[in-house]
Amino acid sequence: MPDIKEISVTEFSELLKANHQFEIIDIRTPAEVERGVIPDAMTLPMHLIPLKLNFFIAAEKQIVIYCRTGSRAAQACRFLNQQGIHNVINLRGGIVKWSGSGLPLAMEPGPTIP
């Protein structure tokens, strides 16, 4: 099985500070999202990813996908890679690592993917 692309929280936050542009997608459940999201993240519960493949295919930016700890996001990246979509990156450690590193959370969830 091919490896998925991953990025560390530290590297991702540094790239964001340097104004690198990404689509950021939180694939946790709505109840989890209510606890806070990475700023500017869109939301899409994991089980809906197969219904939104056109969004991933049409995306012009790299897409960073995260969940609570990185396991579900890794599964989502593998699934998308199997569909021929390779512009996706797993945020290693998920939002637990993000918030544990002292990085900011937004309490208002971003838009859902259309």
Q: Mind listing the pLDDT tens digit for each residue in 64-104?
A: 999 999 999 999 999 999 999 999 999 999 999 999 999 99
Residues with catalytic function: 67
DSSP-derived letter for residue 2 is P
Q: What percent of the chain has pLDDT over 70?
A: 98
Query: How many alpha carbons fall within 13 Å on the CB side of residue 22?
Result: 29
Phi/psi for 52 (5° steps) reads -120, 25
pTM metric for this prediction: 0.95
Shortest CA distance to 59 belongs to which of 28, 88, 26, 17? Answer: 88
Which fold does the domain 5-100 belong to in CATH? Oxidized Rhodanese; domain 1 (3.40.250)
